[in-house]
């Protein structure tokens, strides 16, 4: 296969971004958009001269691979249908809304020899910063990820744990060895029917902790991370690009020259994996930890 035929499911903001990447790539051909809202789907499809489908199976008939960028509550269903049709899948985070489904989808992809990649593209950011080159395991990882309410009500189908905290849950799952042994969490609903702000603390068998805070009801954006090692600690303010680093490891927060477009890097890595040029950077089985953590945290929050 020299050219990968790619379809995009979902004509929202991220679906449009993924369509742009597929249409511009030298290794892919964008073959169509799926959205149950024909008018919305056509608005995304028209600039690329491709059809919009209101039937997901009709899109699958035309493609080798599909990008699933629909609301999170539909991820598992569409990913399962695509895998059953032997299509490669890139699904926006999260892979599923419970660990059992996530494991089943990851296993099905492996069984069928298909690429199933999850849209945790902040791993590309962490890698470019040098975080994954650090030879020590963190003793403590703290993160804050706050944003004001979305005027469009984005991701209002799930809680902030699945919407925003999931990014830092995934990074914690990558950086701290082993599975968590305990979780404490609290949260509140402020402008949706779901949890809009939450704090979760995970404890691991090694004694390491991950303390994560997320809000989509904040007055202003805030995104910070602090990681403590035996040799020192790293604190990063991603908005001001301020870094305090007392470890012996080199870290940089201005990665614009190395990684100008994380979404493009993630999508191109998916295309190459589908074409057999490399293994997926974020395979389905590598995204299970974040799902398990999110599921456990949400179960602890009593609204």
Asked if residue 92 and residue 206 are part of one domain, the reply reads: no
Q: CA–CA separation, 187 vs 169, rounded Å? A: 16
| Cα first-last separation, the chain | 51
Give how many domains the chain has, as a whole number. Answer: 2
CATH number of the domain residue 51 falls in: 3.40.50.720
Q: 155 pLDDT exceeds 70?
A: no
Asked if residue 132 and residue 75 are part of one domain, the reply reads: no
Asked if residue 147 and residue 75 are part of one domain, the reply reads: no
Position 211 scores a pLDDT of 98
Asked if residue 14 and residue 141 are part of one domain, the reply reads: no
Asked if residue 295 and residue 183 are part of one domain, the reply reads: yes
Q: 156 pLDDT exceeds 80?
A: no
Crossing angle for the helix pair 262-274 and 122-129, nearest 10 degrees? 110
Instruction: List pLDDT tens digits, range 2-42.
Output: 799 999 999 999 999 999 999 999 999 999 999 999 999 99
Cis peptide leading into residue 7 (ω within 30°)? no
Asked if residue 63 and residue 49 are part of one domain, the reply reads: yes
Asked if residue 204 and residue 126 are part of one domain, the reply reads: yes
Instruction: List pLDDT tens digits, range 174-193.
Output: 999 999 999 999 999 988 88
Asked if residue 253 and residue 127 are part of one domain, the reply reads: yes
Instruction: List pLDDT tens digits, range 73-96.
Output: 999 999 999 999 999 999 999 999
Asked if residue 154 and residue 176 are part of one domain, the reply reads: yes
User: DSSP letter string over the chain?
Assistant: --SEEEEEE--SHHHHHHHHHHHH-SSEEEEEEE-SSHHHHHHHHGGGT--EESSHHHHHTT-SEEEE-S-GGGHHHHHHHHHHTT-EEEEPSPS-SSHHHHHHHHHHHHHHT--EEE--THHHHHHHHTGGG--SPPSEEEEEEE-PPPTT-TTTTS-HIIIIIHHHHHHHHHHS-S-EEEEEEEEE-SSSSS--EEEEEEEETTS-EEEEEEESS-SS-EEEEEEEETTEEEEEETTTTEEEE-SSS---S--TTT-S-HHHHHHHHHHHHHTTSS--SSBGGGGHHHHHHHHHHHHH---
Q: 151 pLDDT exceeds 90?
A: no
Q: 154 pLDDT exceeds 70?
A: no
Contact residues for 158 (Cβ-Cβ < 8 A; gap 6+)? 71, 72, 73, 97, 194
Question: What's the pTM?
Answer: 0.95
Asked if residue 235 and residue 131 are part of one domain, the reply reads: yes
Asked if residue 156 and residue 296 are part of one domain, the reply reads: yes
Identify the domain containing residue 131 by its residue range: 122-260+291-300
Asked if residue 131 and residue 102 are part of one domain, the reply reads: no
Position 303 scores a pLDDT of 63
Instruction: List pLDDT tens digits, range 210-249.
Output: 999 999 999 999 999 999 999 999 999 999 999 999 999 9
pLDDT-derived band at 290 (thresholds 50, 70, 90) equals: very high
CATH number of the domain residue 176 falls in: 3.30.360.10
């Amino acid at each position: 296969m020299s050219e990968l035929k790619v379809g995009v499911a979902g004509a929202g903001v991220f679906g449009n971004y993924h369509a742009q990447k597929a249409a511009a790539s030298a290794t892919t051909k964008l073959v169509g958009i799926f959205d149950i809202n024909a008018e919305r789907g056509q608005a995304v499809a028209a600039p690329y001269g491709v059809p919009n489908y209101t039937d997901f199976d009709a899109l699958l008939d035309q493609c080798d691979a599909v990008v699933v960028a629909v609301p999170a509550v539909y991820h598992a269903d569409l990913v399962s249908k695509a895998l059953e049709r032997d299509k490669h899948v890139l699904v926006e985070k999260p892979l599923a809304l419970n660990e059992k489904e996530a494991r089943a989808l990851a296993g099905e992809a492996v069984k069928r020899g298909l690429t199933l990649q999850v849209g945790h593209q902040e791993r590309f950011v962490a890698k470019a910063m040098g975080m994954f080159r650090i030879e020590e395991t963190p003793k403590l990882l703290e993160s804050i990820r706050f944003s004001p309410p979305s005027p469009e009500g984005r991701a209002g189908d799930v809680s902030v744990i699945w919407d925003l905290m999931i990014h830092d849950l995934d990074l914690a799952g990558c950086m701290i060895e082993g599975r968590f042994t305990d979780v404490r969490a609290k949260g509140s609903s402020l402008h949706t029917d779901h949890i809009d702000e939450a704090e979760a603390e995970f404890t691991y068998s090694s004694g390491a902790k991950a303390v994560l805070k997320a809000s989509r009801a904040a007055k202003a954006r805030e995104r910070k991370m602090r990681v403590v090692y035996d040799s020192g600690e790293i604190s990063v303010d991603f908005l001001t690009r301020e870094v305090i680093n007392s470890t012996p490891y080199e870290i940089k927060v201005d990665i614009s020259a190395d990684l100008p477009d994380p979404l493009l890097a993630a999508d191109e890595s998916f295309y190459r994996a589908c074409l057999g040029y490399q293994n997926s950077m974020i395979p389905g089985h590598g995204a299970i930890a974040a799902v398990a953590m999110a599921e456990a945290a949400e179960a602890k929050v009593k609204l």
